[in-house]
Amino acid sequence: MYLSICLSVCLSICLSVYLSVCLSICRSVFLSVYLSICLSVYLSLCLSVCLSIYLTVYLSICLSVCLSVCLSVCLSVYLSNCLSVYLSLCLSVCLSVYLSTYLPIYLSTYLSVCLSICLSVYLSVCLSICRSVYLSVYLSIYLSIYLSVYLSVYLSVCLSNCLSVCLSVCLSVYLCICLSV
């Protein structure tokens, strides 16, 4: 019996020491090897997968959205400001140059050339037309009226006077001659 107790105690101690040492060593070896392998594989796989997903999805979406929004906002702000400044400056400078330089030169040249050409053409055409109208209409009317009135009056007065004088002279000559014979 003593032997059985001793054996049981010895076995229990040995087993407990063996198990504690073995478990401790196995656990530490297991943990160190398993965890290092698992963690390295897990981390490398997870990091590569996560990084590739992150880079492909997040960066493509973020970059495309960010770039499109940023570019559209920046371009619209830049273009609106730049165009407004450019147009206001350009219009003010161009208008002032145009109004101060080009317009007076153009107007003076245009007006002098146009007025000289227009006046010369107008005067030559107008004078030609007026002269022809005057000569054709006025003179024809004037001459026809003048001649008709003048001839009718002149001929009626003159002929009547001439005939009366002529008849009276002729009668007096005839009477003189007739009486003197």
Which of the listed ranges 30-39, 98-107, 148-157 does the model predict with the highest average pLDDT?
148-157
pLDDT average, residue stretch 30-38: 73
**Alpha-carbon separation of residue 61 from 23, 48, 50, 73, 109 (angstroms):** 51, 19, 15, 18, 64
- Mind listing the pLDDT tens digit for each residue in 108-119? 887 788 778 877
pLDDT at 154: 78
pLDDT average, residue stretch 121-137: 81
pLDDT at 1: 65
Global confidence as pTM: 0.25
The DSSP symbol for 93 reads H
pLDDT at 28: 74
If one counts every other C-beta atom within 10 angstroms of the C-beta of residue 10, the result is: 10
pLDDT at 89: 78
Q: 98 vs 149, which has greater pLDDT?
A: 149
Burial 125-134 (b: 16+ CB within 10 A, else e): eeeeeeeeee
Q: Is the pLDDT of residue 167 over 70?
A: yes
pLDDT at 75: 73
Q: 165 vs 32, which has greater pLDDT?
A: 165
Q: pLDDT category, 103, cuts 50, 70, 90?
A: low
pLDDT at 148: 80
pLDDT at 57: 76
